[in-house]
Amino acid sequence: MSEPKRLFFAVALPDEIQQQIIHWRAAHFAPEAGRPVEAANLHVTLAFLGEVGAEKQRALSQLAGRIRQPGFTLTLDDAGQWLRSRVVWLGTRQPPRGLLQLANLLRAQAARSGCYQSPQPFHPHVTLLRNASHAVAIPPPGFSWSFPVNEFVLYESQFSRGRTRYTPLEHWQLAE
């Protein structure tokens, strides 16, 4: 019997956008502001699944594969901080309808499959910094990154040697 995996569905950021965000973050946040998330780990979580066994993973993958909806453009043009969870984030002022629909579908399927879903409303974001122990100055509006979203991904989260790595396990295309 295989060990359960810590899984989540997400939208990956294109490499070029990841690098631009990393440079922007370095220019706007002091090193002591918090622990920066690695460029390769930047993503927008759609549905967190938690610890999932192989059988449930297969079922969730089959359900994800049945989703038929068009792609959309995502614009990251907002930022903020959640003091309680000690996170600094990058988000979107106007979440595209396609993003909200995709997240709602995946979260509903996960809940029906027995994966706990937070009662908090979905707030699409990219985590920039973790362990931000005090309030940080958020850069003024004017920053913006836009990119087409043509797929979503099932990731495994693994913690090893003090680092978290997100490994893509499966990809699903959105309709043209």
Catalytic residue numbers read 43, 125
Could you tell me which of 105, 72, 83 has the C-alpha nearest to residue 33? Answer: 83
Angle between helices 97-112 and 54-65 (to 10 degrees): 140
Angstrom distances, CA of residue 163 to CA of 21, 35, 151, 158: 20, 11, 26, 8
Residues 6+ away with beta carbon under 8 Å from 56: 113, 114, 115
Which residue shows structure tokens 């810590």?
6
